[in-house]
Amino acid sequence: MSVCSAVMRRLLFLAVRAKVIPYVLVSIEGCRTRDFQAAPSIFLKGQTLAPNAKMRSMVSGFASCIRYDLISYRTFHDEGDTMSTAGRHLVGWALSLAAGMACAAYPDKPITLVVPYAPGGMGSTFGNLMSEALSPALGQRVVVDYRPGANGGLGAALVAKAPADGYTLLMAVNSTMAINPAIYPKLQYDPIKDFSPVAMVYTSANVLMVNAKSPYRSVADLVSYAKANPGKLNYGSSGNGATPHLSGEMFRRMAGISINHVPYKGIGPAIVDLIGGQIELVFSDTSAMTQVTGGNLRALAVTGPSRLGMAPNLPTMQEQGFPGFSIRSWYSIAAPAGTPKAVVERLNAEIAKVVRSPEMRQRMKDIGVDPAEDTSVHYLDATTRADLAMWKKFVTEADIKLD
C-alpha cells in the first residue's frame, strides 16, 4: 500500500470512529483518471448518499492523484443522513494531504520515452537529447524505447494504451499526430482524445538529397530528368505519411513530374539505400547532413521557408522555383490522456528549462533544428489541431490514400 493510501485510510477510519462521517468502504488505486469522470459534488454541502450506491468520484484540484470508489454505505443514523460539515472538511483535508504526498514522489522509477521510429535519423537524435537532459533534471533515468511501424502509429498506439501515470511518454511528431489521421483510415489512436500534450521541443526542415555520385546538382536537374524519363526516379521516405513522403508528393505535384515513392521504417534505412544507389532521392531530416559533409550525399535544397543555420549556402525550394513550398516537422513530448496535471506540469517545466538552456540551444543549432520558442501545453495542443486541418486538406487535394 502506498503512503498516500495508508494516510487516507487512517484519516477516514478516525473520522468514522469520531462519528463525523458515515461508514464507507474505500478502495484506493493510483493515479488512473482516464476511466471515469470527476464528480467532486459528493462532498458538497448537503449532499445525500444513496444506500448501497456505487460511486466513482474525484475531488477537484487533486483529482489527478487519487481514485477512490465509494462501494457501500452505512450510516450511524437514518438512511439519507447528510455528511456533517466537519466530516466534509476532514475528508477533503485527508484527500488533499494524500494527493500531495502521491504527486510529490514523481518520478520514483525510470521513465520510458517511446520513439515510434527505427534507430537512426532525427528520432534517435531527439531521444538521446531528451534522455541526456531530462534524466538528471528528473532524478530518474529516461530510457529510449524504439517502436517503429506505420509511420509512428504503432508506437503512438502503444503509448495511448499505457497507464496514465507519467512513466510512459511519446516522442510526438507532426507525422504521427497530424498527418497519420488524414492518411490512415483505420488509425488505432486519436491524437486529441488519447494524449495529453506535454511540451513542444523543436522544429526542423527537411533537406532534398541525392547520391553524391549522381549527375544532379540542382533541383532543376532532377526535374529535367524526371520529365524526360517519367517513372524512372524513386524517392525514399521514413514511412507512408511522414513529412519526407509528403515533401516528395508536394515536389511531384508542383513540378508536374512522375516519380515513385518507396517507404521505409525510418529515415536511416532510406539513407542507406540512397547511398547504395537503390533509390535516387530523399527528403531527409537534418540528421543525414553528416553524410553530406562526409561526401556520400549531395544536398540540393531545404524544404523550410528559410535556409539552415548549419548550411547557410544551401538554397530553399522556394528559391529554386517552387513558391509556397514550405514543410517543417515539429518534435514534442506527449503522455497518455488523463496523465495527472501535476505530472504534466513537472515534465513541461523541466523540458522548458532544457530548451531554454544556452548549451541545449547550441546543440540544436549544430544539428540543424530550431528550439521551440513556446514550449507550453497550450501551444502544442493548438499546433496539433491546426496541423490536423492543414494536412487533411493537403491529403485530400493530393488524393493520397492508404489502407
DSSP state of 62: T
Regarding whether 64 and 50 lie in a shared domain, the answer is yes
Segment (H or E) for 290? helix 289-293
Domain boundary among 104, 131, 159: 104
pLDDT value of position 174: 94
Confidence of residue 380 (pLDDT cuts 50, 70, 90): very high
Domain CATH code at residue 384: 3.40.190.150
Q: What is the mean pLDDT of residues 83-88?
A: 54
Q: Do the domain assignments include residue 241?
A: yes
Check pLDDT > 50 for residue 38.
Answer: no
Instruction: Return mean pLDDT, the chain.
Output: 81
Regarding whether 198 and 211 lie in a shared domain, the answer is no
Residue pair 243/327 in contact (Cβ under 8 Å)? The answer is yes
Q: Which three cell numbers stand for residue 200?
A: 513542444
Q: Which of 168-172, 221-225, 240-244, 390-394 has the lowest mean pLDDT?
A: 240-244
pLDDT tens-digit readout, 331-374: 999 999 999 999 999 999 999 999 999 999 999 998 889 999 99
Regarding whether 322 and 211 lie in a shared domain, the answer is yes
pLDDT tens-digit readout, 193-212: 999 999 999 999 999 999 99
Q: What is the mean pLDDT of residues 308-314?
A: 92
Check pLDDT > 60 for residue 95.
Answer: no
State the Rg of the chain over Cα. 26
pLDDT value of position 56: 31
Q: Do the domain assignments include residue 403?
A: no
pLDDT value of position 25: 37
Check pLDDT > 70 for residue 49.
Answer: no
**The whole model's pTM is what?**
0.70
Regarding whether 232 and 138 lie in a shared domain, the answer is no
Check pLDDT > 90 for residue 400.
Answer: no
Chain centroid offset of residue 105 CA: 23
- The dihedral formed by the CA atoms of 115, 118, 124 and 128, expressed in degrees to the nearest 10: 50
Q: Do the domain assignments include residue 240?
A: yes
Q: What is the mean pLDDT of residues 310-324?
A: 95
More confident residue, 85 or 32: 85
pLDDT value of position 372: 96
- Using a pLDDT cut of 70, give the percent of the chain over it: 74
Domain boundary among 56, 85, 104: 104
Segment (H or E) for 282? strand 281-284
pLDDT value of position 69: 34
Domain that holds residue 258: 207-326
More confident residue, 23 or 395: 395
Q: What total of structural domains would you count in the chain?
A: 3
Separation CA 227–CA 3 (nearest Å): 70
Regarding whether 224 and 181 lie in a shared domain, the answer is no
Separation CA 151–CA 240 (nearest Å): 6
Separation CA 150–CA 171 (nearest Å): 15
pLDDT value of position 63: 37
Provide the sign of the torsion angle of the four alpha carbons 227, 232, 236, 237, taken in this order: positive
Check pLDDT > 60 for residue 241.
Answer: yes
Residues, the chain? 403
pLDDT value of position 150: 86
- Using a pLDDT cut of 90, give the percent of the chain over it: 64
* Contacts with 151 (C-beta within 8 Å, 6 or more apart), sequence order: 175, 176, 179, 180, 183, 184, 238, 239, 240, 241, 242, 245
Confidence of residue 139 (pLDDT cuts 50, 70, 90): very high
> Given phi > 0 = left and psi -120 to 50 = alpha, else beta, which region is 354?
alpha
pLDDT value of position 332: 98
Confidence of residue 281 (pLDDT cuts 50, 70, 90): very high
Cell 483510415, located at residue:
185
Regarding whether 221 and 150 lie in a shared domain, the answer is no
pLDDT value of position 32: 36
Chain centroid offset of residue 332 CA: 5
Q: Do the domain assignments include residue 189?
A: yes
* Contacts with 79 (C-beta within 8 Å, 6 or more apart), sequence order: 51
Residue pair 109/142 in contact (Cβ under 8 Å)? The answer is no
Regarding whether 142 and 124 lie in a shared domain, the answer is yes
Provide the sign of the torsion angle of the four alpha carbons 259, 262, 267, 272, taken in this order: negative
Regarding whether 260 and 180 lie in a shared domain, the answer is no
Closest CA to 169 of 199, 204, 133, 125: 199
Amino acid at 276: G
Residue pair 38/44 in contact (Cβ under 8 Å)? The answer is no
pLDDT tens-digit readout, 244-257: 999 999 999 999 99
Q: What is the mean pLDDT of residues 306-329?
A: 94
